[in-house]
Amino acid sequence: MNPVRENKTWYTYLLQSKKDKHWYTGCTADLRKRFKEHNDNLVTSTKGRGPLNLIYYEACFDKNDAFARERYLKSGMGKRYLKNRLKRFLSLTR
């Protein structure tokens, strides 16, 4: 048994629409699957806003921590944190 694989990893992620440059913040246990669902227009919140880029994610070992982080990143302070954290990346994509 691999002890690293015993814990389920949860991801808090940030997508950016290539169409309108708006952000979407979410949380999932399967980041690859969820990203594909977003780009296949299967998620109501991002339907019609694709294609989307995954521009940031964080991994957590606890589901509640991941959802708490999502709530924070959606707040005013969280958005400021992301803008500061992604400052160089965002300047390259303009």
33 pLDDT above the threshold of 60: yes
Q: Grade residue 5 by pLDDT with cuts at 50, 70 and 90.
A: low
DSSP lists the bridge partners of residue 59 as 11
Can you give the pLDDT at residue 2?
59
Can you give the pLDDT at residue 88?
85
Map out the domains of the chain as residue ranges.
Answer: 7-92
9 pLDDT above the threshold of 90: yes
DSSP string, 19-79: TT--EEEEEES-HHHHHHHHHTT-SGGGTTS-SEEEEEEEEESSHHHHHHHHHHHHSHHHH
Q: What is the domain class of 7-92 according to CATH?
A: alpha beta
